[in-house]
Amino acid sequence: MTSAIDIAGLTKRFGATVALDDLTMQVRTGQVHGFLGPNGAGKSTTIRVLLGLLRADSGTAVLLGGDPWRDAAALHRRLAYVPGDVNLWPNLTGGEAIDIIGRARGGLDKRRRDDLIARFDLDPRKKGRTYSKGNRQKVALIAALASDVELLLLDEPTSGLDPLMERTFTDYIRTERDAGCTVLLSSHILSEVEALCDVVSIIKSGRIVQTGTLDELRHLHRTVVVAELADPSVVSGLPGVSERTRSDGRTTWHVADEAMPAVLAALARAGARGVTATPPSLEELFLAQYAERASA
Amino acid sequence: MTGFGTALRLALRRNLVFYLCWIAGLAMLLPATVTKYHDLVPDGPSGAVMLAQLAANPTMRAILGPAIDLTTAGGFTFWRVGTFTAAGAAMMAALGVIRATRDEEENGRVELIRSGAVSRAVPLAAGLALAVAASLFCGAVIGASMAALAGVAGGWASGLGIGLTGAMFAAVAAVVAQVFESSRTARAWSVGVLLGGLYLARALVDGSRTEPDAWTWAMPLDWAALARPYAGERWWVLALPAAVTIVLSALAFRLEALRDHGAGLRQPSLGAADAAPYLRDARGLSWRLQRGGIVGWTIAIVVSALSMGSLSLSMGSLLEGQDALAEMLRRLGGGAGALQAAFFAAMLSIMATVVTLSGVLVLGRLRQEETAGRAEVMLATATSRWAYALSTLVPAVLLPAGLLVATGALLPIAQAQHDGSPDLIGTYTQAACALLPGVVLVLGLAMFLIGWLPRWFGLSWAVVGWTIVVSWLLPLFDVPDWLLKLQPWGHLPHLPADEMTWGAFSVTLAAGAVLLVLGAVGYRRRDIYGR
């Protein structure tokens, strides 16, 4: 498999602030890659470096086999971008904005454009200044999705959409992926990431702190096990296990992935009842990173 | 009116600098003119003859307003700059009201205010009250200074007339702000259509009659002059703008109660669902965004060049024997000997600064689009930095250059027709071309800032402001020659009085071109900031 995006040791400073700190990350061709991180972690900066809008201080970035800074205009024919905070030309209509963005990229598919406008329920005759945040986002999304491109760079594209429109968006991205399109999706909406992404990278303070498939990430974190047990110490004493709460005879443990067989065996031996084992949700994975930030 | 005080303080806080800048500019005009009166108008019969000729000139009346009594310093001053200042105060007040009401509402800030313990009409009331207060304050500053310099009654009549004209247009804008949903449209209507239209109507009326008549009375912008400051004040006339202010304010509050928050009484019109074929790249987009401004500037420059040009016909008789005034004109005209040449040269250098302003305005879009986050969207398409910068830079240079050359060709048309000497047109077209490097230099500087120090782009406005002061104002005062030359046009030749000096021409042009290229290179190399 080849890489659509290959970033190595990327550093970007704004004055004294280090926005990207030796960031390394790969997005394989054909993948939907989730890009998660708290506000200000460097998601938008990374995407802007990939678009050749910002010039990195050091490190390399290869985008679709080219240099995002030097070959910007040529590479941009093959990709589409949706910014996180869409601002439209106040006196151009939404339809005009979609057309100009699409045409400037090298052309858009008129049938797909009209289909998207219908599916996203957008009135393309309204002036840019009269759209709500969600509708501005739809304009940018339609402009991006109406072109036939190899790569989509989406910076929190659904933050203003209602759940129905978010669903439409999810469906469309799936179609794009099936057609072989690569997607880098920065997002805060974890259900969206879980539903769409093959691989997830979590960025914190300008560095990728974790990357992998959702399954891989789950294995790095502890499973929550709850059971009714007369003597919880037979489990609590095992290596890789920490006891959390005990109430009404029910005990909760956090169990490392490698300790699970021993815990399950101990639970069975002790005749435990009402056993549940819950793998960590993406939200917990994510919150674990936030919490580390808070304590750091 | 719960919360009025708080809202008023907030409006003051957000608009203080806006009003102070306007008032500082407007309040200066009358006192500055009255102190120069004795330099401009000689004592005795020759002065009276000159004033009579001035008052008889239809173009002068169209530009300045009805000539009521020019024989006193105060009366002359009010004619020269009073009506103009009143229109300026009207513009300040109208813009201020839109700024504090529709603008804030469009940006969602009024919503925050109104969710508090605040009566519904409070944002409108605060914006309107502040604009009226600022107009009256501006009038008071003018009144006090004129009272001290040229007589008490006339001074206060001038100040009140100007202040109340401002207040009247604050109320006009308050009504307009209820009608349109977008602040841009509201601004265009209140300042462009209503104030601009009324100023034009006034110019037509005043130009076509020597004595005020019913038509003059129908012109709200003439009311301040009809109160006759320094010409036997007619105080009751000032009740007219006051009454209109009250009636229109009441109407604005009534209309405000009829509409929803965020909405206008008039639904915004829908546009095209598809873009026209020419909207396919940065160049098409730039034309679409700038065309209104380009057309507006072209019309304004053509009209002013033609009307200023027609003044030259009466120049000779007007300035006969007025050595001081003729000398002043010569200084404005860069030292030309013949009066006619001095007049055209003076008008050309003034217009050179004005058309440059149009270029900087066009170029400013490049920066605005970036800070608004829209440059990012276009640069994420197959649009190179180079193509994107050129889409704005090319019109920013071509527009003022074209307008300057057009001014050179249009200024002498009336004179050429009168004298039967069409070669004047060629002569002054050349003279305009000789000034082109100055335009390129200012735009080069502006582009350099965009390319290397984008946050300092505002400096370009300061440069344009400085060139206006140096070309329009400083020549009238005794300032050293080097100071007059300290500007982009300073070393360029004023044809046909001067010899063509290719050295200064080439150096200025080259400096401008180098700055333009450096700026474009910087723009290609630097980071583009989004929102």
- Compute the half-sphere exposure of residue B105: CA atoms within 13 Å on the CB side of its CA: 28
Q: Which of B376, B374, B450, B384 is nearest to A44 (CA)?
A: B376
The distance from CA B22 to its chain's CA centroid, rounded to whole angstroms, is 11
Which of helix, strand or coil describes residue B371?
A: helix
State residue B337's pLDDT score.
66
The reply to whether B289 falls in a domain is: yes
State residue A296's pLDDT score.
43
- Write out the two tokens for B32: 């500055």
The reply to whether B274 falls in a domain is: no
The reply to whether B180 falls in a domain is: yes
What residues contact residue B108 under an 8 Å CB cut-off, 6+ apart? none
What residues contact residue A240 under an 8 Å CB cut-off, 6+ apart? A255, A256, A258, A259, A262
Same-domain check for residues B200 and B143: yes
Of B223, B244, B268, the last residue of a domain is B268
A8/A23 Cα distance (integer angstroms) = 6
- Write out the two tokens for B98: 């839109």
Question: pLDDT tens across B191-204, in order?
Answer: 988 999 999 899 88
Which of helix, strand or coil describes residue B26?
A: helix
Please answer whether residues A26 and A50 qualify as being in contact, where contact means their C-beta atoms are separated by less than 8 angstroms: no
Question: pLDDT tens across B227-267, in order?
Answer: 999 999 999 999 999 999 999 999 999 999 998 887 888 87
Q: Which residue of B has its CA nearest to A85?
A: B531
Q: Which residue of B has its CA nearest to A100?
A: B280
The reply to whether B49 falls in a domain is: yes
CA dist list (Å): A147 to A104, A134, B448: 11, 21, 36
Give residue A34's identity as a one-letter amino acid code: G
Q: Which of B353, B347, B355 is nearest to B311 (CA)?
A: B347
B169/B221 Cα distance (integer angstroms) = 10
A183/A173 Cα distance (integer angstroms) = 8
State residue A245's pLDDT score.
83
- The nearest CA of chain A is from the CA of B140 a distance in Å of 39
B382/A101 touch (CB, cutoff 8 Å), yes or no = no
Q: Which of B118, B128, B114 is nearest to B2 (CA)?
A: B118
B527/A105 touch (CB, cutoff 8 Å), yes or no = no
A5: which strand partners? A27, A63
As a whole number, the mean pLDDT across chain A is 90
Q: Taking a contact as any Cβ pair under 8 Å apart, which residues of chain A between 129 and 148 contact chain B?
A: 129-130, 140
Question: pLDDT tens across B393-451, in order?
Answer: 999 999 999 999 999 999 999 889 988 889 999 999 999 999 999 999 999 999 999 99
Same-domain check for residues B383 and B505: yes
- Whether the CB of B378 is below 8 Å from some CB of chain A: the reply is yes
- Taken in order B12, B16, B22, B24, is the CA torsion positive or negative? positive
Give residue B325's identity as a one-letter amino acid code: L
B265/B255 Cα distance (integer angstroms) = 8
List the single best residue of A43, A53, A108, A159 to mutate versus B (max B Cβ within 10 A).
A53
SS3 content of chain B, % helix, strand, coil (to 5): 80, 0, 20
Going by DSSP bridges, is the β-strand pair A199-204/A207-213 parallel, antiparallel, or unpaired? antiparallel
Same-domain check for residues B55 and B3: yes
- Write out the two tokens for B14: 């957000």
A201/A209 Cα distance (integer angstroms) = 8
- Whether the CB of A74 is below 8 Å from some CB of chain B: the reply is yes
Please answer whether residues A186 and A201 qualify as being in contact, where contact means their C-beta atoms are separated by less than 8 angstroms: no
Of B268, B292, B324, the last residue of a domain is B268
Of B268, B298, B320, the last residue of a domain is B268
Q: Which residues of B touch A90 (CB under 8 A)?
A: 182, 184
State residue A292's pLDDT score.
62
Same-domain check for residues B291 and B236: no
Nearest to A124 among B273, B279, B280 (CB): B273
Same-domain check for residues B10 and B139: yes
How confident is the prediction along chain A (296 residues), in pLDDT tens digits per residue? 589 999 999 999 999 999 999 999 999 999 999 999 888 889 999 999 999 999 999 999 999 999 999 999 999 999 999 998 899 998 899 999 999 999 999 989 999 999 999 999 999 999 998 898 899 999 999 999 999 999 999 999 988 888 899 999 999 999 999 999 999 999 878 888 888 999 999 998 999 988 988 888 877 778 888 999 888 888 888 888 887 788 888 888 888 888 889 899 988 888 888 898 888 777 777 777 766 655 44
Q: Which residues of A touch B373 (CB under 8 A)?
A: 83, 85-87
Q: Which of A82, A55, A81, A57 is nearest to A67 (CA)?
A: A55
- The nearest CA of chain A is from the CA of B321 a distance in Å of 55
What residues contact residue A150 under an 8 Å CB cut-off, 6+ apart? A4, A64, A78, A79, A180, A181, A182
Same-domain check for residues B376 and B249: no
A126/B270 touch (CB, cutoff 8 Å), yes or no = yes
Question: pLDDT tens across A245-294, in order?
Answer: 888 888 888 888 888 898 999 888 888 888 988 887 777 777 777 666 55
- Write out the two tokens for A260: 């699970």
A92/B268 touch (CB, cutoff 8 Å), yes or no = no
CB pairs under 8 A between A and B: 127
Same-domain check for residues B164 and B205: yes
List the single best residue of A99, A117, A141, A152 to mutate versus B (max B Cβ within 10 A).
A99
List the single best residue of B181, B266, B274 to mutate versus A (max A Cβ within 10 A).
B274
Same-domain check for residues B162 and B23: yes
Same-domain check for residues B302 and B264: no
Same-domain check for residues B289 and B339: yes
B373/A83 touch (CB, cutoff 8 Å), yes or no = yes
- Whether the CB of B32 is below 8 Å from some CB of chain A: the reply is no
The reply to whether B273 falls in a domain is: no
Give residue B481's identity as a one-letter amino acid code: D
What does pTM read for this prediction? Answer: 0.83
State residue B110's pLDDT score.
85
- Whether the CB of A160 is below 8 Å from some CB of chain B: the reply is no
B225/B82 Cα distance (integer angstroms) = 7
The reply to whether B396 falls in a domain is: yes
Transcribe chain A into DSSP letters: --EEEEEEEEEEEETTEEEEEEEEEEEETT-EEEEE--TTSSHHHHHHHHTTSS--SEEEEEETTB-TTTTHHHHHTTEEEE-SS----TTSBHHHHHHHHHHHHT---HHHHHHHHHHTT--TTSBGGG--HHHHHHHHHHHHHTS--SEEEEESTTTT--HHHHHHHHHHHHHHHHTT-EEEEE-S-HHHHHHH-SEEEEEETTEEEEEEEHHHHHHHSPEEEEEE-S-THHHHTSTTEEEEEEETTEEEEEE-GGGHHHHHHHHHHTT-EEEEEEPPPHHHHHHHHHHHHHH-
Tokens 């390399």 sit at which residue?
A60
The residue segments making up the domain with residue B113 are 1-268
- Compute the half-sphere exposure of residue A170: CA atoms within 13 Å on the CB side of its CA: 17
Please answer whether residues B34 and B149 qualify as being in contact, where contact means their C-beta atoms are separated by less than 8 angstroms: yes
- The nearest CA of chain A is from the CA of B189 a distance in Å of 16
Same-domain check for residues B332 and B238: no
Q: What angle do CA A199, A203, A205 make, to 5 degrees?
A: 175
A202/A208 Cα distance (integer angstroms) = 6
Q: Taking a contact as any Cβ pair under 8 Å apart, which residues of chain B between 379 and 418 contact chain A?
A: 379-385, 387
Q: Write the Ramachandran bin of A198: left for phi over 0, alpha for psi from -120 to 50, otherwise beta.
A: alpha
CA dist list (Å): A121 to A135, A155, A165, B333: 9, 21, 9, 63
B358/B46 Cα distance (integer angstroms) = 40
The reply to whether B275 falls in a domain is: no
Neighbours of B254 (CB within 10 A): 12
The reply to whether B430 falls in a domain is: yes
Q: Write the Ramachandran bin of A55: left for phi over 0, alpha for psi from -120 to 50, otherwise beta.
A: beta
Question: Within chain B, which residues score under 70 in pLDDT?
Answer: 316-318, 320-322, 324, 335-337, 531
Same-domain check for residues B284 and B362: yes
Q: State how many domains chain B has.
A: 2
